[in-house]
Structure 1
Amino acid sequence: MSHRTVKDVMTTTVRIVYAGTPVKLIAEQLDFAGISAMPVLDDEADVVGVVSETDLLHKITYQDERDEWPRLLRRHRTDRAKAEGLVARDLMTAPAITIDADASVVDAARLMEKRDVKRLPVVNDTGKLLGIVSRGDLVRLFVRSDAQIRDEVEAEVFGRVLLHPPDVAAEVTDGVVTLSGTLPRRSDVELAVEFARRIDGVVRVVDALAHVDDDTSYRALREQVSYPSGPFL
């Protein structure tokens, strides 16, 4: 069982600009589409950067600044250089932070958080644009209905992982999954809880499962026999 992939949630109709697109046209595109950023492509249609409203705002921020006392911070120098730019390649953030279409939504979320970005251009193995995935696309996974989540728990966890055990049930309320019933082994309970947690849209898993045989105690004993502690004789 695995999480949904980026290609399952990404937007495939993407508004783009090219590296030589003038600033005025970039602003018009962002305003017309009601978006805050666009991928920037080179002449070979490879993704080379992202240009955003923030990049354009530098032109306003610095337009009246004479900079008689130049600040030496790298961020200031970079922002000021963008303010003087005329086309996308001058303004864009580069290199672009991209992701593969087959990456999991978990990987996408981690990359966004790590790099502090709101969206990721999705590219193939040659760098060509396939789509774009945003924080909003990932958040929408949590608005799946309780019925959809329950159906997936029953199909994937009870059906595929546990092979249709007869005495188990799943209830879902506001994304919280409660597993109840009895399974043959404690290890089956652990599997059920772990795989239920992996289903997209699940907020929390409540373990109300019972078991007949505690096979985990045998597992612990085997590990002790295999890896004895204490000094060797």
Structure 2
Amino acid sequence: MRHKRVADVMARDVVTVQTNAPFRKVARMLAEHHVSGLPVLDADGRVVGIVSEADLLARQARAGGTDGAWMWHLLRDKTFTRRGVSLTAADLMSSPAVTVGANDRLASAAATLARHGVKRAPVLDADGVLRGIVSRRDLLSVYLRHDADLATEIREQVLTRALSVAPMNVRVQVHGGVVTLRGKVVRQSMIEVITSLTETVDGVIDVRNEIVAETDDTHRPPTSPEALTMTHPRTGH
């Protein structure tokens, strides 16, 4: 069962700036490309920080307009140009940058963005090289999968392939990403396993498990120390 990785949904065409990029160039690139943040690269092409609209606003304490209009106002302001000419991306950026790995699971990347309160993050390969950028919207795209596709994957990959449960024994229904499982399995302990594996399928929002078991194997008493000794006799010296 292959889960989608960050590399499957990230944008590969990344707009970046160098650490020595002047304030005015950073502002212009943010406005022209309609983005709210840019990865900042050092001389070796490594991500060392992120510079955002918020960083520029915080430094200049300016406001006005929305959707980047304030940026164009700053660029036309000669007073701003003189005051901001010595500032560079290195002076403005937030560092270290919050990054994710190209091979990270989408859920893991989403947790990283949420934990740090950022909207997007540069994507690095195993060698730390920038390969793309991923946003919250990209990570949520997995939840747009069709219900029929989800049901098919659960039947084929979870029930049949992973657990050898016959499709006739467990029925799968999916509505709006919510999975309902009904049927019968041999052991009670299998129900939790089926639920856990179904929850890991990309695009599943919730799992409602109505499966019943023929036998309850979850309350068997633990093996006694005496039994373990008999099974694995201790050798003397």
SS of the aligned residue for 2:35 comes to coil
Give the corresponding residue for 1:31: 31
Mapping for residues 66-215 of structure 1, pairs under 5 Å: 86-165=87-166, 166-215=168-217
Shift of 1:135: 1.2
Shift of 1:3: 4.4
Shift of 1:125: 3.4
Mapping for residues 53-64 of structure 1, pairs under 5 Å: 53-61=53-61
Report if aligned partners of 2:12, 2:133 keep a CA contact under 8 Å in 1. Answer: yes
* Structural RMSD (CA): 2.4
Shift of 1:154: 1.4
Give the corresponding residue for 1:50: 50
Report if aligned partners of 1:2, 1:198 keep a CA contact under 8 Å in 2. Answer: no
Distance 1:84 1:59 in 2: 13
Of 158-167 and 188-197, more deviation after overlay is shown by 158-167
Give the corresponding residue for 1:74: none
Aligned residues: 206
Give the corresponding residue for 2:13: 13
Which amino acid is the alignment partner of residue 211 of structure 1? A
Distance 2:225 2:35 in 1: 59
Give the corresponding residue for 1:225: 224
TM-score between both structures, scaled by the size of structure 1: 0.80
Give the corresponding residue for 1:40: 40
SS of the aligned residue for 1:45 comes to coil
Which amino acid is the alignment partner of residue 194 of structure 2? A
Aligned pair in 2 of structure 1 residues 186, 84: CA closer, same or farther (>3 Å)?
A: farther
Report if aligned partners of 1:59, 1:84 keep a CA contact under 8 Å in 2. Answer: no
Shift of 1:160: 2.0
Aligned pair in 2 of structure 1 residues 84, 213: CA closer, same or farther (>3 Å)?
A: farther
Which amino acid is the alignment partner of residue 192 of structure 2? E
Distance 2:185 2:155 in 1: 14
Aligned pair in 2 of structure 1 residues 25, 201: CA closer, same or farther (>3 Å)?
A: same
Task: Identify unmatched segments of 5+ residues in structure 2.
Answer: 64-83, 227-237
Shift of 1:196: 0.8
Distance 2:99 2:212 in 1: 45
Distance 1:6 1:25 in 2: 30
Deviations, residues 95-154 of structure 1 (Å, cap 9, x unaligned): 112122122222212221222212111112332101111111112222222122112211
Report if aligned partners of 1:99, 1:123 keep a CA contact under 8 Å in 2. Answer: yes
> Alignment identity in percent?
37
Shift of 1:4: 2.7
SS of the aligned residue for 1:217 comes to coil
Deviations, residues 191-228 of structure 1 (Å, cap 9, x unaligned): 1111111112211111111221222233xx1x26369x
Task: Identify unmatched segments of 5+ residues in structure 1.
Answer: 64-82, 228-233
Report if aligned partners of 1:85, 1:91 keep a CA contact under 8 Å in 2. Answer: no
Report if aligned partners of 1:177, 1:205 keep a CA contact under 8 Å in 2. Answer: yes
Distance 1:45 1:123 in 2: 12
Shift of 1:58: 2.2
Which amino acid is the alignment partner of residue 6 of structure 1? V
SS of the aligned residue for 2:218 comes to helix
